[in-house]
Structure 1
Amino acid sequence: MNKNEILVLDTETTGFLGNAEVLQVSILDGEGTVLMNEYFRPDHTESWPGAMAVNHITPAMVADKPSIQMRKEEISHLLRHARAVVGYNISFDLKMLRQNGVYVPGPMKLRPIDLMGPFSDRYGKEKNLPLNKYGHYKYQKLITCAGYYGYEEGGWHDSLADTKATLFCFWKMVEDGTLRI
């Protein structure tokens, strides 16, 4: 797979439930070129104190930004023309995009590659961590993955910073055999 056929994606949202709205979308290609990094004004949510404590995106920061509805075709176009989309808990990001009106191709056309599970397994085995009651290792955060692979940038919970860290970890995981593409 060519690097330009891979997208790395992250979102920041107003929450985690079915009514959550997208506040920021960042998309890189497999080379690290920024294809999108944009903030969005939610259409229905006026405040998001729980999410704001994590992502630090305030209502004032997005008050003059467009709705994601204005850019959903551009995001959909990027997804339609990729072969794989990489993320850290990518299923959440794709779910958020779908529920905000973005077309996300199914897994036969756009292969989702999630780093969280494979990294958590690798980390759990190396650290001899206990398995949970379902026989899996506890999911590790992106910051743990990034630190493990020697990523030294900061700005956590900004979708562009998280996307750059995810891209770095993705190629390290391919290199060490944790992921196969």
Structure 2
Amino acid sequence: MMLERTTFPPGMYLTQYQWAKKMMAVNADAQGTEMWCNHYHQRTAIYFTEAEVHPATAAEIAMVFAPAREKRKEYNQRYSQRRIAREKEIEEQAKLFGEARATEKILSLIAGKLPTALSSSKSRSVTEKMLQNKAIIFDTETTGLSDTDELLQISIIDYNGTVLMDTLVRPYFHSSWVEAQRINGISPEDVEKAPYLHEILPELCAIFAKAKVCIGYNVKFDLAYINRAGVSTDHLNIIDVMLEFSSYYAEKNQQTKPRRHKLTACADHFGFKWSGDAHNALHDAQATLFCYQSIRNGKE
């Protein structure tokens, strides 16, 4: 049975990349030990002990870090290309629909109001058949709350709870996220061997392209991260369960002014049984689905 690296004391077993950060290089004859990177059991890596490394030369360090630098350069180039393509798309929309209509849409995107508008208008026309066949429930975990932070986990399930995607994501530019780690429990070591966003982007785009409804909790926040990566969501009916529950709770409790509630409070209200910790994207997506179905079915 393969061991988990996290069962050993920190620093006892490190990958070649981790040793390189300490200015150490793996010996030519070192065998290493293959282990699961974490309890997710998604990826394995070869780990080495202190006895299998030596002080590294500058050339050895450069050789280890070169692939990561190339991936980061490639991502920056792709991001720039997507941004240019998006600017051209907006110009074409302006020609097709008229300057006034295009300007209104652009302003709404800049103001971040599009998901909220869709939640309040389109969600009313969503049918049960559409939910069963074309709905996805989406959640993420990130390195923080700003638009300069990065994704750490993406989870998507369908309306029946089937997992369509559940993966950790390796950030390009962040090496630590202390405050976020206290909440989501995802450490830099957990994502060290996870795929970069560009590696899962084709699968992510395909899932969203097939969907007609996207359900989430404060979903505007999650969508912003994948929109910046180039995932198109303009065609979707967006349902924000946070807003749905806010109205639902205010009506039930005769509140004149609805207020927003955390997902854990919403889940507790409807008696959701967590399969694991909150602030795990998959568990949060499952809780969001349960809450939305409870609201839709009129559960007290």
TM-score range, shorter chain: 0.7 to 0.9
Q: Counterparts in 2 of 1:108-147, with a 5 A limit?
A: 109-129=235-255, 131=257, 137-147=258-268
Alpha-carbon deviation of 1:148? 1.1
Match among 129, 136, 150 for residue 21 of structure 1: 150
The answer to whether the Cα contact below 8 Å between 2:135 and 2:212 also exists between their aligned partners in 1 is yes
Instruction: Please name the residue that 1:82 is paired with.
Output: 211
- The root-mean-square deviation of aligned C-alpha atoms, in Å, is 1.7
Ranges of 4+ aligned residues in structure 1 off by more than 4 Å: none
TM-score computed with the length of structure 2 as normaliser: 0.54
Q: Equivalent pairs: percent with the same residue?
A: 34
Alpha-carbon deviation of 1:64? 1.0
Match among 116, 131, 156 for residue 278 of structure 2: 156
Instruction: Please name the residue that 2:98 is paired with.
Output: none
Give the structure with the larger helix fraction: 2
The answer to whether the Cα contact below 8 Å between 1:4 and 1:31 also exists between their aligned partners in 2 is no
The answer to whether the Cα contact below 8 Å between 1:10 and 1:87 also exists between their aligned partners in 2 is yes
Alpha-carbon deviation of 1:129? 4.9
SS of the equivalent of 2:233 reads coil
The answer to whether the Cα contact below 8 Å between 2:131 and 2:213 also exists between their aligned partners in 1 is no
The higher-RCO structure (CA 8 Å, 6+ apart) is 1
Alpha-carbon deviation of 1:102? 4.0
Match among 141, 163, 173 for residue 295 of structure 2: 173
Instruction: Please name the residue that 1:62 is paired with.
Output: 191
The answer to whether the Cα contact below 8 Å between 1:14 and 1:51 also exists between their aligned partners in 2 is yes
In the alignment, structure 2 segments of 5+ residues that lack a partner are: 1-129
In the alignment, structure 1 segments of 5+ residues that lack a partner are: 132-136
Instruction: Please name the residue that 1:104 is paired with.
Output: 232
Larger radius of gyration between Structure 1 and Structure 2: 2
Task: Pick closer, same or farther for the CA change 1:130–1:56 going to 2, 3 Å.
Answer: farther
Alpha-carbon deviation of 1:104? 2.4
Instruction: Please name the residue that 2:161 is paired with.
Output: 32
SS of the equivalent of 2:238 reads strand
The answer to whether the Cα contact below 8 Å between 1:12 and 1:25 also exists between their aligned partners in 2 is yes
Cα deviation digits, residues 63-121 of structure 1 (max 9, x gap): 1111011001111110011010000011111001122x141220xx2111100012012
SS of the equivalent of 1:113 reads strand
The answer to whether the Cα contact below 8 Å between 2:181 and 2:187 also exists between their aligned partners in 1 is yes
SS of the equivalent of 1:3 reads helix
SS of the equivalent of 2:249 reads helix
Distance 2:280 2:131 in 1: 27
Distance 2:222 2:149 in 1: 11
Alpha-carbon deviation of 1:142? 0.7
